């Protein structure tokens, strides 16, 4: 579903530089091919294969992919042309990185957003440590559980900026492509988008009050305790069951990354994330998660820790330590 591979990353980085040099180019429109997904994530299977390869050149992707992906993501969000992204389908992982920092993100009835990295023993990267903490308790909930947000709820949560009904996308795109010219301002382009956009209903997203109550805590142990204190509440029980399937080290590292990211610039978040990515690439957790989810598909990952209580603070902090100078992003 439109997975992002290293060649695509490098092409997009090259194009972003070219687009920035074109004074007559006023907007760049991103949409996924095939109609099912914007982009469902990075090509993590290639990372798994490289980890166990005897070819040292092939293993360089474990460093190169993240270095180049984060540079590409940062370059896209600093373009002069107005970046417009259409979420008419699934958007996860690497697809989030390409688009989430865009000034215009359009959700439709078909949108499905998630960052399920804790399920594969990884962390919410591609700038996730920047935008998720700015969603406050909801961001922590989405990061730790990998829960999905659909349709107009993307606008309610602040993930998307606009909602256009799926049956209006064709008409919108026709006016966008015909109406945007070399003389268009960003306000002109936004006016076209606004013409087709609809405000979501005023109903809060499901279980938001409970999410705020449990996931506003800073420590993972406190979050779990708050969920447990809800007793036989069906949502709380389901959430705890979901968390029990996630990598304990990932859950605690992700939580720490959001606490740190809340006070960092986007650029500094990418620097932090690159350090984290290299610690995960050097370890076993991510590769066990990929094995269970995508290779053997038994969905029975054997995590390095049986519970969050086994994960020490020192182990969590080690994921954030600077790399050797020549390895930093």
Q: Which of 70, 88, 75, 94 is nearest to 28 (CA)?
A: 75
Q: How far apart are CA 288 and CA 219, in angstroms?
A: 25
Out of 43, 69, 73, 125, the active site residue is 125
DSSP string covering 142-174, please?
Answer: HHHH---EETTHHHHHTS-SEE--GGGHHHHHH
Instruction: Pick the catalytic residue from 41, 89, 93, 94.
Output: 94
**Catalytic-residue membership of 94:** yes
Q: Are the CB atoms for 328 and 274 separated by under 8 Å?
A: yes
Structure tokens at 306: 């049986």
Which of 73, 117, 153, 273 is flagged as catalytic? 117
First to last CA, the chain: 28
DSSP letters for 89-136: SEEEHHHHHHHTTSSEEEE-TT-EEE--GGGGT----TTHHHHTGGGT
Distance, in Å, from the CA atom of 29 to the CA atom of 104, rounded to the nearest integer, reads 10
291 within 8 A of 119, measured Cβ to Cβ:
no
190 bridge partner residues: none
Instruction: Write the Ramachandran bin of 242: left for phi over 0, alpha for psi from -120 to 50, otherwise beta.
Output: alpha
CA distance 307 to 319: 18
Cα–Cα distance measured from residue 213 to residue 141, given in angstroms and rounded to the nearest whole number:
11
Of the residues 32, 41, 42, 261, only one is catalytic, namely: 42
Q: Is 95 annotated as catalytic? A: no
Give the residue numbers annotated as catalytic, written as ranges: 42, 94, 117, 125
């Amino acid at each position: 579903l439109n997975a992002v591979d290293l060649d695509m990353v490098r092409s997009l980085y090259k194009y972003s530089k070219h687009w920035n040099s074109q004074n007559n180019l006023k907007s760049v429109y991103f949409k996924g091919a095939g109609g099912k997904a914007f982009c469902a994530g990075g090509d993590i299977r290639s990372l798994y294969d490289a980890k166990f390869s005897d070819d040292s050149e092939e293993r360089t992707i474990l460093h190169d992919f993240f270095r180049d992906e984060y540079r590409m993501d940062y370059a896209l969000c600093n373009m002069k042309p107005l970046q417009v992204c259409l979420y008419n389908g699934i958007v996860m992982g690497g697809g989030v990185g390409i688009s989430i920092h865009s000034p215009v993100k359009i959700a439709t009835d078909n949108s499905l957003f998630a960052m399920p990295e804790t399920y594969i023993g990884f962390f919410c990267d591609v700038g996730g440590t920047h935008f998720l903490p700015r969603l406050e308790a909801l961001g922590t909930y989405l990061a730790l559980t990998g829960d999905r947000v659909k349709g107009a709820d993307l606008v309610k949560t602040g993930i998307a900026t606009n909602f256009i009904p799926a049956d209006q996308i064709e008409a919108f795109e026709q006016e966008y492509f015909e109406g945007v010219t070399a003389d268009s301002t960003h306000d002109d382009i936004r006016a076209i988008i606004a013409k087709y956009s609809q405000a979501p209903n005023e109903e809060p997203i499901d279980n938001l009050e409970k999410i705020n109550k449990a996931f506003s805590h800073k420590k993972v142990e406190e979050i779990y305790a708050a969920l447990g204190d809800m007793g036989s509440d069906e949502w709380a029980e389901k959430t705890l069951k979901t968390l029990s399937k996630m990598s304990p080290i990932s859950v605690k590292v992700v939580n720490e990354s959001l606490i740190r990211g809340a006070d960092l610039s986007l650029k500094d978040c990418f620097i932090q994330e690159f350090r984290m990515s290299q610690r995960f690439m050097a370890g076993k957790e991510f590769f066990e998660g990929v094995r269970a989810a995508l290779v053997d598909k038994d969905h029975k990952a054997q995590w390095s820790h049986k519970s969050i209580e086994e994960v020490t603070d020192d182990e969590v902090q080690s994921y954030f330590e600077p790399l050797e100078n020549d390895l930093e992003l």
